[in-house]
């Protein structure tokens, strides 16, 4: 087998491996989106149990917005991965007010 044939086989193998790896990443990211969506009922339950007479409140709306931003970023990457970084608004992170 000649050098060109071996090189061709290696390149084809690598491109298949890279494609399989990208598919695996997309599947893992889709699982993350699914898990983030599973948080919605838990947030609704916690919000229903909240004591609104407390001086410091947990800001469920801010939490929901952050989760939405994370999901949107992941979804955008799955649909159209880019080589250039994108700009997103910062996450709130602190949910007490």
At 27-62, the pLDDT tens digits run: 999 999 999 999 999 999 999 999 988 889 999 999
pLDDT digits (tens, 9 = 90+) for 16-36: 554 557 789 999 999 999 999
CB 36 within 8 A of CB 67: yes
Report pLDDT for 66. Answer: 94
70 class by beta-carbon count within 10 Å (0-12 exposed, 13-18 middle, 19+ buried): middle
pLDDT at 45: 97
pLDDT in tens, 58-77: 999 999 999 999 999 999 88
Give which of 32, 47, 15, 16 is closest to 78, Cα–Cα: 32
pTM: 0.69
């Amino acid at each position: 087998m000649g050098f060109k044939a071996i090189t061709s086989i290696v390149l084809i193998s690598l491109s298949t491996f890279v494609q399989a790896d990208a598919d695996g990443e997309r599947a893992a990211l889709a699982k993350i989106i699914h898990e983030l969506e599973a948080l919605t009922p838990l947030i609704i339950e916690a919000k229903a149990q909240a004591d609104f007479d407390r001086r410091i409140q947990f800001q469920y709306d801010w939490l929901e917005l952050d989760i939405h931003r994370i999901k949107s970023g992941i979804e955008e990457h799955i649909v159209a991965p880019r080589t250039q970084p994108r700009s997103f608004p910062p996450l709130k992170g602190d949910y007490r007010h």
